[in-house]
Structure 1
């Protein structure tokens, strides 16, 4: 099992990144909250990882801290929640916000996450409630990302839309979400976070 990787970011386009570790490139999927903590291409990065093994593929998932990885591993144990949905949940809200939704039985907030219907939200509440009783949630991850190199708005929109579609949103819905927050964002990751936050707060 690969539990932790430390290397240099070679490629980065949410939710995918390529990490060079001593000459070996690891393809990793990460939630948007983790992307917010990463530096630019060429920067060093340390990720706590989870290896998902299926008959047709081996996929690495990376997280900025152990709390995120623990919640991811707990989520994929819930009936009907696979790695893709768990990644979308962690991209749509941080661990603390998720724990609050579960404790408050806030089905409406959970169903705003891509791929989470009412039945899945109900399962999440029932199966996660006891597991989150003493959850040590990290500080909120909705922070603005610093970026010394700002891409054009159009380029940021294309990259951000691609990431949201990869997380399960329909292209037209992703475009609407991003257009509402484009003027406030300074990077694709920032744009994605703002769009997700805006959707969840409605």
Structure 2
């Protein structure tokens, strides 16, 4: 499972970026339009990756933060929202604006994205509002922005107190699903083995051990 890529941008076509990593291997990555426009040709970039494994293809979707990737992963759990629709939605506005749109229930703003009708927009608002509260994505963004501003000002801040366990928890579930396990089984297994402070790798190893025992 590919979790991130660091390499040089050597090509762009539509919302697809071609990232060349060490060794000369190029990966095609689907990226939200507003992020893609900020990347520069022949310069290094770093992306958090959502990796989809299918029988006929391996698909990569790239994001500039763990928050954006987690938001994307929650979007594609909504009935009728596939990865391409989610990328299109994230191309129309940045993540803080998207969260504000959901909290303010601005249906028309979501309908501006290609292929998003009124019923789908309403479903996104209802389902994502609850998920945002559970995952505390909005809080992470606020803390992330504050830390960036303080870094520019040279102000030292205490270690981020926002709970980062959701990232490791979510990554482990995605890894199990990429190995062929159903989402409900992956979630139940990760919940059973998870302990605060565990890394993604530790959760995956413990989950596989539990699954192998039946």
Q: Which residue of 2 aligns with 1:13?
A: 13
What does residue range 37-52 of structure 1 map to in structure 2 within 5 Å?
A: 37-39=38-40, 41-52=41-52
Distance 2:4 2:69 in 1: 11
- State which structure, 1 or 2, has the greater radius of gyration over its C-alpha atoms: 2
Which aligned runs of 4 or more in structure 1 are off by greater than 4 angstroms?
none
In 2, are the aligned partners of 1:51 and 1:58 still within 8 Å (CA)?
Answer: yes
Q: Which residue of 2 aligns with 1:90?
A: 90
TM-score normalised per structure 2: 0.61
1:59-80, Cα deviation, whole Å (9 max, x unpaired): 1111112121111111111111
> What aligned pairs does 1:186-197 form with structure 2 within 5 A after superposition?
none
TM-score normalised over the length of structure 1 = 0.64
Unpaired runs of 5+ in structure 1?
140-202
3-state DSSP of counterpart to 2:131: helix
Tell me the secondary structure at the aligned position of residue 115 of structure 1: coil
Listed as ranges, the gaps of 5+ residues in structure 2 are 146-214
Q: Is the 8 A contact 1:32 1:91 kept in 2?
A: yes
Q: Answer with 87-96 or 63-72: which moved more.
A: 63-72
> Which is helix-richer, 1 or 2?
2
The answer for the alignment partner of 1:29 in structure 2 is 30
- The answer to whether the 8 A contact 1:6-1:46 is kept is yes
Aligned-residue CA RMSD (Å): 1.6
Match of 2:149 in 1: none
Secondary structure in 2 matching 1:105: coil
How far apart, in 2, do the equivalents of 1:48 and 1:27 lie?
A: 13
Deviations 1:82-114 (A, max 9, x none): 000000010011111111111111111111111
